[in-house]
Amino acid sequence: MQKIAINQHPEDEGSLKIISALIKKAHAKGVQVLLPNYPIIQKNFASLIAKNDMYTNIDIAIAIGGDGTFIRTARIFAASNVPILGVNRGRLGFLNEFLPQEALDYFDEILKGNYTFSERKMMRANIIRNGEQFTAVDYLNDAVITKGSFSRPIRIQLELNDEFVTCYSGDGLIIATATGSTAYSLSAGGPIVLPDDESVFIVNPICPHTLAIRPMVVPDSMVLSARVVTTIENLLLTVDGQEAIALQETDIVHFSRSQYVVHIINHPSRRYFDVLRQKLGWGSNNAE
């Protein structure tokens, strides 16, 4: 291992001690560390700020913060195909596998290459405007079509592989990956999909105006097309809660499997159901 990159929440001064400890361990092994150009990094680690090569020839990336920081890091390094070590300083931390001290304790082994990782597929939202591609964006958790600040419902028409599915009224639509099934989709009544089954995605209407409309789990080999058929302004496509794209009335959004896969460095002992029990407050097994 020769070069690693660290990304953090831009305003989290509490992460600076963790960064210092990681840098010390990495430099002791002759590993170069690159950091983002944030003000608190400029103030404390100016000599390590990455230049143009931050996103190339990286052996691993480290995300320090909450799940939002991990998602931002995953999107930055998606094309680099590098494993990501998630260090949790947020509230929930479904994606960040390690607590700060755990990451420091395990870091020497990671620098030796003694780690495993799981793969999480991303999805792509492709916006078609006036019959041509307007923009495309890849995401790890979810993409959401919403009505902005308007209180009245919007009608969304759905097709799968060009076959009409339904047209319903509601507050919007969530298209979530299996990884994102424990995020916004879960709070909107969607199912939990185990990350081991990354061959599906979730289509979850937000507050539909009929009880007959329910979330669907769809194979990721299919393409979902969504079009808002209500005349309304201020429509938005929000991607991973970090990017908002204004939609026009005639836009069609195609959702499909992305070419990118995120590699998450696994905790050596903690498993997925351990995380669910802890984060969701599930009860212990009382069968004994």
- The pLDDT value recorded for residue 197 is 67
Same-domain status, 35 and 154: no
Indicate whether 203 belongs to any domain. yes
Could you read off the pLDDT of 63-103 as tens digits, one per residue?
Answer: 999 999 999 999 999 888 899 999 998 766 788 989 999 99
Residue 242: DSSP 8-state: T
Same-domain status, 102 and 143: no
- The pLDDT value recorded for residue 285 is 56
Same-domain status, 33 and 134: no
Indicate whether 54 belongs to any domain. yes
**Residue that wins the pLDDT comparison between 11 and 282:** 11
Give the CATH number of the domain where residue 233 resides. 2.60.200.30
Give the chain's mean pLDDT.
90
CB 87 within 8 A of CB 98: yes
- The pLDDT value recorded for residue 1 is 86
Same-domain status, 21 and 98: yes
Backbone angles phi, psi at 285, to 5 degrees: -75, 110
User: Would you say residue 223 has pLDDT above 60?
Assistant: yes
Give the CATH number of the domain where residue 20 resides. 3.40.50.10330
Same-domain status, 45 and 157: no
Same-domain status, 133 and 175: yes
Same-domain status, 134 and 214: yes
CA 245/CA 259 separation, integer angstroms: 21
Same-domain status, 154 and 225: yes
Indicate whether 286 belongs to any domain. no
Indicate whether 25 belongs to any domain. yes
Could you read off the pLDDT of 61-73 as tens digits, one per residue?
Answer: 999 999 999 999 9
Same-domain status, 240 and 135: yes
| Residue 138 bridge partners (DSSP) | 124
Nearest to 102 by CA among 114, 116, 88, 82: 88
* pTM, to two decimals: 0.90
Which string of DSSP letters, residue by residue, matches 12-80?
-GGGHHHHHHHHHHHHHTT-EEEB---HHHHHHHGGGB--TTTTSS-SEEEEEESHHHHHHHHHHTGGG
268: left (phi over 0), alpha (psi -120 to 50) or beta: alpha
Same-domain status, 15 and 96: yes
Long-range contacts of 41-46 (CB under 8 A, 24+ apart): 41/8, 44/16, 45/19
- The pLDDT value recorded for residue 149 is 67
Nearest to 178 by CA among 232, 135, 119, 136: 119
Same-domain status, 132 and 23: no
Catalytic residue among 67, 142, 220, 251: 67
Asked about 67 being catalytic, the answer comes back as yes
Indicate whether 285 belongs to any domain. no
Indicate whether 288 belongs to any domain. no
- The pLDDT value recorded for residue 288 is 41
Provide the number of structural domains found in the chain: 2
Indicate whether 287 belongs to any domain. no
Same-domain status, 217 and 148: yes
Residue 176 belongs to domain spanning: 123-259
